[in-house]
Amino acid sequence: MTSIIQISDCHLSDDSSFENLRSALLYAQKDSSCDTLLLTGDLCCNPKPGDYRVLLSFLEKHIRDKKIFAIAGNHDDTKLMKRELVGSSINVVNKAKIHNRDMLFLDSSAKPLDKRHPLGSGRVDNRGLARFNKQLRHAINPIVVIHHPIIPVGSDWIQAICLENDASLHALLAKYRVQDVICGHGHDALTVTRQEVTQHMAPATAYGFDHSIDEYNRNTKIGVNKIHLEDERMKVETVWL
């Protein structure tokens, strides 16, 4: 049975962040069932020109014969990311057919319009919302891939660093009976179901968050999510590295 490995929140900046990503890539490459990688945002930390080409080179050094898809997170520079990865082995797209399922990729890296959302919050802009609505009309049992969680989850402080228009997005999920969402952002493996929508959050490779602590914190717990698609359903297993 083929599988997908989701890698999230790499925050590439220093040696340890690259070493942690290397561990995730080595795991994915050794897994003969894995034919696809999903990179779900916050790939680079405070990116500057050339950083996404460094990411590309690093992935190509460790990954062979696997498809790679990527979306941006709040720490990414979406325009720079698209410009430096265009035509490469890392696909930055709005939709794809993966294992016979429609995957819809949402960019939540836009800054909130209001001032009450703290730094790190995100928004799907109007163009993205319109495209998403159109895609949902034609998609069959789609999986939504996004950096920020659509369903609030985790500790209060991480829920505050949220998606500004999460309610609008959840309304679209309900309208079109979407059942599966894949996200990152929370640096932990958290699964939640609301109104028949199940959202799977992947851990980070950079560092973890302990959501039982009521303030910002970091720990060394890192990992990836391994995703199996079968019988129109999705099974997710977290692999701690």
Kindly report, residue by residue over 155-180, the tens digit of the pLDDT. Answer: 999 999 999 999 999 999 999 999 99
Q: How many angstroms separate the first and last alpha carbons of the chain?
A: 22
Nearest CA to 154 among 188, 111, 203?
Answer: 188
Rounded mean pLDDT of 22-47? 98
**pLDDT attached to residue 61:** 98
The partner residues of 67 in beta bridges, in order of sequence, read 36
**pLDDT attached to residue 76:** 98
Question: Whole-prediction pTM value?
Answer: 0.96
pLDDT tens, residue by residue, 80-106: 999 999 999 999 999 999 999 999 999
**Could you tell me what percent of the chain has a pLDDT over 90?**
94
Q: Say if residue 231's pLDDT is above 80.
A: no
Q: Say if residue 232's pLDDT is above 90.
A: no
Residues 194-233, buried b or exposed e (16+ Cβ, 10 A)? eeebbbbbbbbbbbbbebeeeeeeeeebbbbbbbebeeee
Q: Domains in the chain, please, with CATH?
A: 3-240 (3.60.21.10)
Q: What is the rounded distance in angstroms from the CA atom of residue 52 to the CA atom of residue 42?
A: 12
50 φ, ψ (degrees, to nearest 5):
100, -20
**pLDDT attached to residue 119:** 85
**pLDDT attached to residue 1:** 83
